[in-house]
Each structure stands twice: as C-alpha cells, then as structure tokens.
Amino acid sequence: MDGVGESSKSGSGVSSSQLMKNGAFCDEESCPKQVSPIRVGGSRNTSPLGRVGSRNTSPSRQKVIKTKPRGLDEETVATFGKVVHPDIQMEDNIWAMLPEDLLNEILARVPPFMIFRLRSVCKRWNSILQDNSFLKFHSQVPSHGPCLLTFWKNSQTPQCSIFSLPLKVWYRIPFNFLPQWAFWLVGSSGGLVCFSGLDGLTFKALVCNPLTQTWRTLPNMNYNQQRQLIMVVDRTDKSFKVIATSDIYGDKSLPTEVYDSKIDKWTVHQIMPAVNLCSSKMAYCDSRLYLETLSPLGLMMYRLDSGYWEHIPAKFPRSLLDGYLVAGTQKRLFLVGRIGLYSTLQSMRIWELDHAKIMWVEISRMPPKYFRALLRLSAERFECFGQDNLICFTSWNQGKGLLYDVDKKLWSWIAGCALQSYNSQVCFYEPRFDSSVH
C-alpha cells in the first residue's frame, strides 16, 4: 500500500509489450477461449421431457420446482420424483436435475469475476446473475476470497490487473474512468479502491468500485498537502472513512483529517504529537489507526472515535529493518520486518502485538529458502501488505509474490505478469457488487 512517490515522477519506461506474459493475452474483441466451435456440431438436445424449469424460456414464463420446504411438517414433505439408489445415478444427467434454489445457492458462492463469464451460459443465467435480489444474496456471502490488485500508470494510461486468489486467474480491468491526476493507489477496503494524486496543485483523492465501474472524487481537504492516506470501509454501516495523516515532508503542524462518507466532509482532528520522523507504514484495525514512527522507532495510535493520538510503548525488536504494519482480523496487528542488516543470517519475521502486555510477540519466521528466493540481495526492497490474516510480500525486482496465511501458517508463491513492473503498486482487494462509492 505504498502510496508515496515523487510528485513529478512519470509513468515507468516499461512499455506494455513487456507486460505480455507467456499465456494468451485477450482483448475484449477476441477471446478465443470463450468461442466454442463445438456448437457448430448442433446443440445438444438435453432437456429431458417433463423436466420442469426448462432453461430456454424467459424467466417470466418458467415453472420452478422447489425442493422439500425446509422445516415444515412431515405431512407436507414433497418427495423427489425418483427413488435414490446407492449406485451411480446416471452421472451423465445428474446435474440436469439441479433445483432452482440450489442453483442460486451455488451461484451465490461464485467469485465475482466468474459471474461475468457465467452470464454467457444461457439467457436464464444471464438474467439471474444480473437480478438485484440475487446480487444482494451474493453479497451476503461473507467472503469469496481475496484478490490482489496491481496498478501502474504507463505514462498516461492506467493499467490495472487483478489476480483472483480463489480462481487463480489474472484479470484485466479497464480503468478508463480514472481522471488523469489519479496516480497513487492508496489502498482497498470492503470492495472500494482509493486513489490519490495531484490535480495541478491540489491534492485530491477518489474512491471507486472497479466491479461496477462507479467512482467519485472526494471533496478537497482542509489543508492542501500531499499526505499519507488510508481508507477503511464499514460494511455494517455502509460508509467509509479516509484518514489523512502526516505529509511526506514531515510537516509537524499538519493536523490529521478524517473524511466521513456519511457527512461527505473532511473534519480536522488533532495534530500528531511531535515525533521526529514518520514512516509511511500504517495499519487500521478495530477503529484505531496505527502508525509507525521511524526516529525513534515506535508506534503511535490514533483513536478515531475519541480523536486523539496516543503513543504505544511497545518495544520494537532490535535491529529491525523495514518494519511494516499489517492489520489482521478483529484486533490483531502484525509487524513484519527483517532482522540483521549485512548479516548472512538475515531473516524475515512476523510479530503480533499483544495488546494486554503491550509487546511484540514473534509468531512466525519466513523459511530461509523462500527468503533467499524473494530477496536475492540483502538490501533489496520489498513491499508488504495484508488483509484478513493474509500477508503478502512482493519483490519488485523479481516480480514475485509470496503469500503467508497467518491462521493456517502456510507459505505460497504467486507469480504472474503484472508484478514484473517495478513501479506497480499492489494491494489486497475484495471484489464486491454492493459497495457504494457514496
């Protein structure tokens, strides 16, 4: 979630041809995978007679057979038409008998990107998958799996790729709606993505929902300075907040500002107590913003509800390099960083903040072989960000990504084209249909 860069830095010299990977690169026009020559051989006449809910009628005319009503008395139990035998039941036809409500349940678990593809299955599915009540049902499923969003600006054109972790596929998303000034990816939360940039001399921010292609520029801040932003979405409240903290030049007199979507205004909060240098490392969890200070190395916390800064006296590990703050689920806060500069025994470790004892507790270490594969040089830069107890490490030079699942204690690699651009910005993203930019 590195949103800092020199303001005059233009897009990278990497041309789009470098971004082509080995696999097929589909345009919107021609997508060879989807065209099925099999259809030439005549469509399959598959609908068994008497099967209700035939799929080639328009939705208004279709009849629907429901399975046994749930939870009602035995007398009203509707039995299946067939007796279920323990043998393989004509496997060929088995899914043809899928009841309507079960189909809805299955489609509700389909990750959003696959929903677009499934719309071309048949007209009935096309209408189901665009139906508002279905989309609402779909949004109620807690999670379809996180995605990684990479963003980079190739001189003028913004390029965005999204890697869906459950589907294991990269998708290209058009971001043509982005205004020219949007340059830095602030981050993503609850289905919304936030960008910031300089429009002339004004520092602005906007939020968008890439799935529905809606977007909105936020009103200007009270103090016009290029700053660190972080966006958080409250899904229960259907609102979001953007917090603007210190600016990159270390202007200590700059107060913290918070944008609340419910009132559509920036409010000025407390000035952060004087510290020598702030880093860009921030994490938000449990209505508190944690910010790492560099000199001295420490932790500052900002309580959003009460609106004041507090110093957390947790001792940071000695000789820590590049400490990244990552917010986990609920109240968990992680610190990720390397220990041991110039040492051959350099290792990447993950700590968790124990809120009660106010200390960092080491919970995991990156296995040495992955560490060596990720960072060949000991002083090499890497990015680290996380969401929902998933921590991702990306190495710019090598275009690799390493994922760590805190709960399952599992390390896994992600490789793909989009990570190869050295100035692409990456963050976790959760595609949602129901996130509104307002």
Range 197-236, binding another protein (CB under 8 A): 213
CA 182 to chain centre: 19
Q: Which of residues 89-128 bind another protein (CB under 8 A)?
A: 89, 91, 93-99, 101-102, 105-106, 108-111, 113-114, 116-126
Q: Does 341 bind another protein (CB under 8 A)?
A: no
Residues 155-194 that bind another protein (CB under 8 A): 161, 163, 165-174
Closest distance of CB 258 from another protein, Å: 29
Nearer to another protein, 143 or 267 (CB): 143
Segment contacting another protein (CB under 8 A): 2-10, 18-26, 240-248, 285-293? 18-26
- Cβ 427 vs Cβ 185: under 8 Å: yes
Q: Does the footprint of another protein cover residue 38 (CB under 8 A)?
A: yes
**Residue range at the interface with another protein (CB under 8 A); choices 43-51, 180-188, 238-246, 374-382:** 43-51
When asked if residue 10 is in the footprint of another protein (CB under 8 A), the reply is: no
Which one of the spans 88-96, 201-209, 305-313, 314-322 is the region binding another protein (CB under 8 A)?
88-96
Residue 226 beta carbon to another protein: minimum distance, rounded to whole angstroms: 32
Shortest CB 1 distance to another protein, Å: 21
Shortest Cβ 15–another protein spacing (Å): 18
> And the tokens for 136?
């609402």
Residue showing tokens 């046994």: 68
Q: Is 135 helix (H, G, I), strand (E, B) or coil?
A: helix
Q: CA angle, 379 as apex, 315 and 423 as ends, to 5°?
A: 105
The one-letter code for the residue type at 373 is A
Please, are residues 235 and 220 in contact by the beta-carbon 8 Å criterion? no
Q: Which residue has the tokens 């599992």?
A: 410
Task: Name which of 208 and 242 has its Cβ closer to another protein.
Answer: 208
Q: How many angstroms separate the Cα of 411 from the Cα of each of 340, 408, 419, 429?
A: 22, 9, 18, 19
Residue 118, classified by CB atoms within 10 Å of its CB into exposed (0-12), middle (13-18) or buried (19+), is middle
How far is residue 23 CA from its own chain's centroid?
A: 24
Stretch that binds another protein, among 86-94, 197-205, 241-249, 261-269 (CB under 8 A): 86-94
| Residue whose CB is less far from another protein, 139 or 378 | 139
d(CA 4, CA 6): 7
Dihedral, CA atoms, 425, 429, 435, 437, nearest 10 degrees? -10
Cα–Cα distance for residue pair 159/183, rounded to 1 Å: 11
Quick check: 55 binds another protein (CB under 8 A)? yes
- State residue 134 phi and psi, 5-degree precision: -65, -45
Q: Give the residue, chosen from 6, 8, 17, 27, that forms a contact with another protein under the rule CB under 8 A.
A: 27
Query: What mask, x for binding another protein by CB under 8 A, covers residues 396 to 435?
Result: ---------x-x--xxxxxxxx------------------
CA distances for 260 relative to 93, 374, 385, angstroms: 53, 39, 24
The residue behind tokens 């009540």 is 133
Residue 222 CB, shortest distance to another protein, in Å, is 36
As given in the structure block, the two tokens for residue 3 are: 């949103």
Q: How far is the CB of 39 from another protein (least distance, A)?
A: 7
CB 150 within 8 A of CB 418: yes
Residue 67 C-beta: closest distance to another protein, Å:
5
Q: Which of residues 245-284 bind another protein (CB under 8 A)?
A: none
Instruction: Establish if 77 lies at the interface with another protein (CB under 8 A).
Output: yes
44: exposed, middle or buried (Cβ count in 10 Å: 0-12, 13-18, 19+)? exposed
Cβ at position 165, least distance to another protein in Å? 7
Q: Which is nearer to another protein, 26 or 277 (CB)?
A: 26
Any contact of residue 40 with another protein (CB under 8 A)? no
79 binds another protein (CB under 8 A): yes
Question: In the window 123-152, what residues touch another protein (CB under 8 A)?
Answer: 123-126, 141-143, 145
Per DSSP, the residues of 132-147 read HHHHHHHHHSS-S--E
CB of 129 to another protein, least distance (A): 11
CB of 384 to another protein, least distance (A): 19
- Backbone φ and ψ for 102, nearest 5 degrees, come out as -70, -35
